[in-house]
Chain A
Amino acid sequence: MLEEGRISNRQAAFLVITTILSTTSIGFLPSMIYQEAAQDSWISILLLTVYGIVVGRIIMSLGMRFPDKTIVEYAEIVTGRIPGKIIGFLYVLFFLYLNTFPIRFFGELSITFFMPETPLVFFLIGIIFAAAYAVRSGLEVIARANEIILPVSLTIGIILAIMLFPQMEIKNFIPMLEKGILPVFKGTYVALVYFAETIVMVMFIPYLNTTRRTRGIIFKSFVVISLCELLAVVSTIAVLGELAARIPVPAIFAARLVSLAELIERVEPLFLLLWVIAVFVKVSVFYYCFVLATAQWLNLKEYKALVLPAGVLLTVLSVVLWGNIADLYEQMVKLVPYFVFVEAVLPLVLLVAACLRGKGGTAGEN
């Protein structure tokens, strides 16, 4: 085993929640959904939740057939050596590539809102260094740090939402379904990638300390994710209305509007805190998955040696892949089908193949 540590079901669920929430609720996603679905974004969120649960179930069913292996290992068992290696490599690339989005976005956001004259690389190196430290310390450490980070972030998020309450206007939600149902589906489409990030579970399942009730964590996580998501999207739309589509990070713009008793104003540092700690977890999780998947793909005995090169690779890729933030948005929408293929279709195919060929046990049924 490459990883000695074991995490509990609760820790795994927490990791999934933070991973998904960090980009979707406080990141760029509300704006992306809003561009398509406008005031009906909350319906998109509900649809996305259903999608997330379905994909999550597929991923978990696949993973639980091989409770002591990761997808890189069992892809070979299911499909044979060469196709298995190709699928494994696909996931290695996927974990690397998907991670560059939040990292780059984090850097752009920090420059735009907090320190305009600082070079981009400075922020990237900072967050990647922190993540590298956590990844080197192992899965247990990421999971434990997240157990502090998630409650703190949720608290901050809820406090922000409460402070925005005076500015909210319910009329921003009407008329409902003004342009029919199509925009809602479009809004759902752009966010498909992020609600299927339960895919990280394919790397975590062998390191759970129990296989009992593991499937249940998907539903529980998505209840929390969905509620927080709704809170974020609804409060953003209620505060900003039409404006939400035109600014890259509506949540932070909303945070600027907070004004309570002329004492609590300009709470963006709180938002930055939320952003740093949540993105740290997300980046660490994908970083870890990438490093672990690479080590397994190459049959290494130790993944720690890969942490430093992987960090350098992440930094470079995050800088060179996109010219600016608009480019990043465009790419993100364009790449949705490919990501969905890796996150949802491929696991489904593998699951069907495993069932048909009778590979893997059915251990860990509820």
Chain B
Amino acid sequence: MARNVFRRLLSLGRGREKNKLFSTCASPASAAKLSRDLAVNLNMIRDTLGNSMDVVVRELLVCRTRVALVYINGLINETALRENVMRALMIDMHNVEPSPGSGSKDLADSVKEKVLSIADVKKIGDFHTVLDGILGTGIVLFFNGEDTGLILKLPGFETRSVEEPHTETVVRGSREGFVEALSVNISMLRRRIKSPDLRLERMQVGGVTQTDICVAYIKGIVNTKLVDEVKKRLQRIDIDGVLESGYLEEFIEDAPFSIFQTVGNTERPDKVAAKLLEGRVAIFTDGTPIVLTVPYLYIESFQVSEDYYSRYIPGSLLRMIRLLCVIITAELPALYVAITAYNPEVLPSPLLISMASSREGVPFPAIGEILVMGVFFQILREAGVRLPRPVGLTVSLVGALVVGEAVVSAGLVSAPAVIIIALAGICSFVVPPQSDTNLLLSLFFTILAGFAGFFGLFLGFVLVLAHMASLRSFGAPYLSPAAPLSPGDLKDTFIRAPWWVMTGRPRVTGWKNTRRAGVVSSPSPPRNEEKKPAHRYKVDE
């Protein structure tokens, strides 16, 4: 009900759906064709771009024709411009036979075919493409007397070098993380998936920022309806700027009012490759190392790329530890409240006595303790994250040692409450994608337990479970493969089965092409090892 009202309020300002609010090509000239007169073209450029300091217009004379180069300083490769363009036009041009401009062909054609030693050169005729080219790391060449220009792609801007991802570090596995430049990110993916079926479709969103995004999937594995749905949702986006993939996430997610995220994100190329192999779709956004993957299931937050690289037995154990940590984070504080406030008799007597004695003299009820300490923990965490590292250390030291210790010895908060909050806090870092969600869940459960003890806590459980069961991410039920149950896919949930057992793709995403590994390829020693050694050791005499 409230949701509908909220939707209605949101849609009030949406009367003008059709005319996009923002557009780079605001001037009326945008749709125009190029003129034969060079001066007109250049004037148009100057009118549209204004006198921005980084726009460079260089005019020169080639074979008695006036030619102009327009580009944006800093976006293009200066060396290549000097060597392959300027030098070619001003010196090599004169050696071209027959002399350009004299024959039947245009000067632009001759220059494109015979002079420029650059791979990506296109002929253009309208002003809109010219602007796109200039703003998108290109050099535009105008020729006087011709209504076509050339656009040379020579990207040469500064990028961060490829580094180890900060959010998802592994002990074993690739150390590469995505960077901000879209082309670099895509090349990292290509290098991992050399299949001709890997499709990378470019789109542009953001009326002002004109951000490039790229929808990646593997044809033949992915559900084509999923790709269409992703593209449809991306095309619907109408916003002035997209500076990070989080913008897209909010526009395309299925459950915007839920605390659970239904769009995955990662910084690791190997993870994206793995997701694509499971039949998912990835969305790259220029300007951010975070790549989105859909559909996103709840179980994915427990799956770390290292599970698949290390041996499967410890991998499975770690999965279960993570699950345990999620339970601890979300429920331990609530359990503490329920037990101390309502049903202390469930504890074994010695433990009950020691807890009661440490709570003696504490002026707050259990729920007060837990909430205050929880908020305190989050403040410490936030302070530690934002501050520069040396200061952050001080914060954690002061917070943890001085305040944590002092609070207990002053008798404001009991020691068990501090232990429980600390434990829950540490466990919340074990599954990073869920740490915020679990924090909210923990708050929800704690308040319910404060109101109604175990009953409230368990009722909260059921409500959260029902809510999660109602979620979908791009058509995939959020709790699958547990609900709806698909027994074959449980191999990659609470445990991580060995690779030679996981012969099928998860059915929920890879429904079409389910076979991913040979059925009988489990490793085994050669049967006739004893009788016939594979090779003999030569004994030197």
Q: Which residues from chain B contact A147 at a C-beta distance below 8 Å?
A: 479, 482-485
Q: Which residues from chain A contact B469 at a C-beta distance below 8 Å?
A: 134, 137, 140-142, 144-145, 148
Residue A130 CB within 8 A of the other chain: yes
Residue A263 CB within 8 A of the other chain: yes
Residue B461 CB within 8 A of the other chain: yes
0 or 1 for each of B468-512: is its CB under 8 Å from A? (1 = yes): 011000000101001111000000000000000000000000000
Identify A115's interface contact among B455, B459, B463, CB under 8 A: B455
Most chain A beta carbons < 10 A, residue from B452, B469, B470 = B469
Q: Which residues from chain B contact A122 at a C-beta distance below 8 Å?
A: 452
Q: Which residues from chain B contact A133 at a C-beta distance below 8 Å?
A: 463, 466-467
Q: Once bound together, how far apart are the Cα atoms of A142 and B347, in whole Å?
A: 34
**Nearest CB on A from B34, distance (A):** 54
Q: Which residues from chain A contact B454 at a C-beta distance below 8 Å?
A: 114, 269, 272-273
Identify B348's interface contact among A10, A140, A143, A262, CB under 8 A: A262
B residues 318-360 near A (Cβ < 8 Å) are: 338, 342-343, 345-348
**Nearest CB on A from B238, distance (A):** 29
Q: Once bound together, how far apart are the Cα atoms of A269 and B462, in whole Å?
A: 15
Q: Which residues from chain B contact A143 at a C-beta distance below 8 Å?
A: 483-484
Identify B477's interface contact among A115, A144, A266, A268, CB under 8 A: A144
Q: Once bound together, how far apart are the Cα atoms of A123 and B246, in whole Å?
A: 41
**Nearest CB on B from A331, distance (A):** 25
A residues 1-47 near B (Cβ < 8 Å) are: 8, 10-11
Interface residues on A, range: 35 or more
Residue A351 CB within 8 A of the other chain: no
B residues 91-144 near A (Cβ < 8 Å) are: none
Residue A358 CB within 8 A of the other chain: no
CB atoms of A272 and B466 under 8 A apart = no
A residues 93-143 near B (Cβ < 8 Å) are: 110, 114-115, 118, 122-123, 126-127, 130, 133-134, 137-138, 140-143
Residue B465 CB within 8 A of the other chain: yes
Q: Once bound together, how far apart are the Cα atoms of A140 and B455, in whole Å?
A: 25
Q: Which residues from chain A contact B461 at a C-beta distance below 8 Å?
A: 273, 276-277
Residue B458 CB within 8 A of the other chain: yes
Q: Which residues from chain B contact A10 at a C-beta distance below 8 Å?
A: 485
CB atoms of A148 and B458 under 8 A apart = no
Most chain A beta carbons < 10 A, residue from B347, B453, B466 = B466
A-B contact pairs, 6 of them (CB 8 A): A145-B465, A145-B466, A148-B483, A266-B347, A273-B454, A276-B462
Identify B482's interface contact among A127, A148, A263, CB under 8 A: A148
B residues 422-467 near A (Cβ < 8 Å) are: 452-456, 458-459, 461-463, 465-467
- Nearest A-chain residue to B477, judged by Cβ: A144
Q: Once bound together, how far apart are the Cα atoms of A272 and B343, in whole Å?
A: 12
Q: Once bound together, how far apart are the Cα atoms of A130 and B459, in whole Å?
A: 7
Known: A141-B469, A147-B482, A277-B462. 20 other contacts (CB 8 A): A10-B485, A114-B454, A115-B342, A115-B452, A142-B466, A143-B483, A144-B470, A144-B477, A144-B483, A145-B466, A146-B483, A148-B469, A149-B465, A265-B348, A268-B346, A269-B346, A273-B461, A276-B458, A276-B461, A277-B461
Residue A280 CB within 8 A of the other chain: yes
Which A residues have a C-beta under 8 Å from some C-beta of B?
8, 10-11, 110, 114-115, 118, 122-123, 126-127, 130, 133-134, 137-138, 140-149, 262-263, 265-269, 272-273, 276-277, 280
Top 4 A-B pairs ranked by shortest CB distance?
A: A147-B483, A144-B469, A144-B483, A276-B458
**Nearest CB on A from B477, distance (A):** 6
Q: Once bound together, how far apart are the Cα atoms of A126 and B466, in whole Å?
A: 14
- Nearest A-chain residue to B448, judged by Cβ: A126
Q: Which residues from chain A contact B343 at a C-beta distance below 8 Å?
A: 114, 269
Q: Which residues from chain A contact B465 at a C-beta distance below 8 Å?
A: 145, 148-149, 277
0 or 1 for each of B35-56: is its CB under 8 Å from A? (1 = yes): 0000000000000000000000
**Nearest CB on A from B457, distance (A):** 9
**Nearest CB on B from A168, distance (A):** 22
Q: Once bound together, how far apart are the Cα atoms of A322 and B488, in whole Å?
A: 48
CB atoms of A115 and B458 under 8 A apart = no
- Chain A, interface SS category: helix
**Nearest CB on B from A155, distance (A):** 12
Q: Assuming A130-B462, A137-B466, is B483 touching A145 (CB within 8 A)?
A: yes
Q: Which residues from chain A contact B348 at a C-beta distance below 8 Å?
A: 262-263, 265-266
CB atoms of B463 and A130 under 8 A apart = yes
Most chain A beta carbons < 10 A, residue from B347, B470, B479 = B470
Q: Which residues from chain A contact B484 at a C-beta distance below 8 Å?
A: 8, 11, 143-144, 147
**Nearest CB on B from A145, distance (A):** 4
CB atoms of A130 and B466 under 8 A apart = yes
Q: Which residues from chain B contact A127 at a C-beta distance below 8 Å?
A: 459
Q: Once bound together, how far apart are the Cα atoms of A40 and B455, in whole Å?
A: 34
CB atoms of B455 and A148 under 8 A apart = no
Q: Which residues from chain A contact B452 at a C-beta distance below 8 Å?
A: 115, 118, 122, 126
Q: Once bound together, how far apart are the Cα atoms of A356 and B421, in whole Å?
A: 69
Q: Which residues from chain B contact A126 at a C-beta distance below 8 Å?
A: 452, 455-456, 459
Q: Which residues from chain B contact A280 at a C-beta distance below 8 Å?
A: 462
Q: Once bound together, how far apart are the Cα atoms of A8 and B507, in whole Å?
A: 15
- Nearest A-chain residue to B1, judged by Cβ: A308
0 or 1 for each of B48-85: is its CB under 8 Å from A? (1 = yes): 00000000000000000000000000000000000000
CB atoms of A272 and B455 under 8 A apart = yes
Q: Once bound together, how far apart are the Cα atoms of A115 and B342, in whole Å?
A: 8
Q: Which residues from chain B contact A265 at a C-beta distance below 8 Å?
A: 348
Q: Once bound together, how far apart are the Cα atoms of A317 and B453, in whole Å?
A: 26
**Nearest CB on A from B142, distance (A):** 59
- Nearest B-chain residue to A146, judged by Cβ: B483
Most chain A beta carbons < 10 A, residue from B455, B479, B482 = B455
**Nearest CB on B from A190, distance (A):** 28
**Nearest CB on B from A7, distance (A):** 8
Q: Which residues from chain A contact B482 at a C-beta distance below 8 Å?
A: 147-148
- Nearest B-chain residue to A308, judged by Cβ: B1
Q: Assuming A147-B482, A148-B469, is B342 touching A276 (CB within 8 A)?
A: no
Q: Which residues from chain A contact B458 at a C-beta distance below 8 Å?
A: 272-273, 276-277
Q: Which residues from chain B contact A267 at a C-beta distance below 8 Å?
A: 346
Q: Once bound together, how far apart are the Cα atoms of A266 and B454, in whole Å?
A: 14
Q: Which residues from chain B contact A272 at a C-beta distance below 8 Å?
A: 454-455, 458
- Nearest B-chain residue to A138, judged by Cβ: B470
**Nearest CB on B from A78, distance (A):** 33
CB atoms of A276 and B459 under 8 A apart = yes
Q: Once bound together, how far apart are the Cα atoms of A334 and B67, in whole Å?
A: 102
Q: Which residues from chain B contact A142 at a C-beta distance below 8 Å?
A: 466, 469
Q: Once bound together, how far apart are the Cα atoms of A147 and B458, in whole Å?
A: 17
CB atoms of B466 and A141 under 8 A apart = yes
Q: Which residues from chain B contact A273 at a C-beta distance below 8 Å?
A: 454, 458, 461
B residues 212-258 near A (Cβ < 8 Å) are: none
Q: Which residues from chain A contact B459 at a C-beta distance below 8 Å?
A: 126-127, 130, 276
Q: Which residues from chain B contact A11 at a C-beta distance below 8 Å?
A: 484-485
CB atoms of A114 and B453 under 8 A apart = yes
Identify A123's interface contact among B455, B462, B466, B477, CB under 8 A: B455
Q: Once bound together, how far apart are the Cα atoms of A123 and B470, in whole Å?
A: 24
- Nearest B-chain residue to A126, judged by Cβ: B459
CB atoms of B485 and A137 under 8 A apart = no
Q: Which residues from chain B contact A263 at a C-beta distance below 8 Å?
A: 348
Q: Once bound together, how far apart are the Cα atoms of A127 and B347, in whole Å?
A: 26
**Nearest CB on A from B101, distance (A):** 69
**Nearest CB on B from A254, distance (A):** 16
**Nearest CB on B from A132, distance (A):** 10
Q: Once bound together, how far apart are the Cα atoms of A266 and B338, in whole Å?
A: 15
Q: Assuming A133-B463, A137-B470, is B453 touching A115 (CB within 8 A)?
A: yes
Q: Once bound together, how far apart are the Cα atoms of A268 and B452, in whole Å?
A: 16
Q: Once bound together, how far apart are the Cα atoms of A145 and B483, in whole Å?
A: 7
Q: Which residues from chain B contact A144 at a C-beta distance below 8 Å?
A: 469-470, 477, 479, 483-484
Q: Which residues from chain B contact A266 at a C-beta distance below 8 Å?
A: 345-348
- Nearest A-chain residue to B479, judged by Cβ: A144
Q: Once bound together, how far apart are the Cα atoms of A110 and B452, in whole Å?
A: 11
